[in-house]
Homo-oligomer: A and B are copies of this chain.
Amino acid sequence: MKEPNDVLVPQHYKRLKRGPQVILPKDIGMIIAYTGVNKNSLCVDAGTGSGWLAVSLAKVAKEVTSYDTREDFIKIAEKNKEMEGLGNLTIKKGDVTKKIDEKDVDIVTLDMPNSDKALKNAYKCLKEGGHVVGYLPHFEQVKKFVETLNKLGFKDALALEAIVRDLLVREQGVRPSTKGVWHTAYLVFAQK
């Protein structure tokens, strides 16, 4: 039987370090597709955590700045940045609920406790039409995040969960795996 790691962590992510809980590729893929991140995009990310999302964004975007308040996490993420040789990723110590230095940003991704408190700064740093993304495990967080988005004037808030299920393809027959991962977090998307 396949383990969640076989199903949810493709080979090229396995070389990355895993410190704090990572955002899995299934959710990273959704973030890229739903925001339209591309070679011209400026991205701001917080918190960095192990840096899986920041690293993945840096591979497809122009510039990525990722913020975290914890130095131990930043160290892990710096290792992952180095491993992938990403010159366009800057990891900063800082609290995005207090300040975001960047301007005219295309995408802000938020995976941190009380991320709704960072939405005001996210709004300020985004260019018109820019995207904000929240990664939120609990439904109460989704509710508060969406309510804050609406209050701040963000448009088209959309709350999703991305579920990935694998098929076992074997001689005796094809069937979905018995067990698997049901939930990581909800993804909330909106545009300035």
Binding site for B on A (CB under 8 A): 4, 6-7, 10-12, 25-26, 28-39, 56, 59-60, 137-143, 146-147, 156-167, 169, 172-184, 186, 189, 191
Contact = CB atoms under 8 A, between A and B. Distances in A.
A161 B158 contact: no
Main secondary structure of the interface of A (DSSP, over half): mixed
Number of copies: 4
Contacts of A59: 36, 38-39, 60
A113 B138 CA distance: 24
Given A26-B162, A182-B165, A173 B137 contact: yes
A174 B32 contact: no
Interface-central residue, A35, A179, A182, by most chain B CB under 10 Å:
A182
A138 B29 contact: no
A189 B11 CA distance: 11
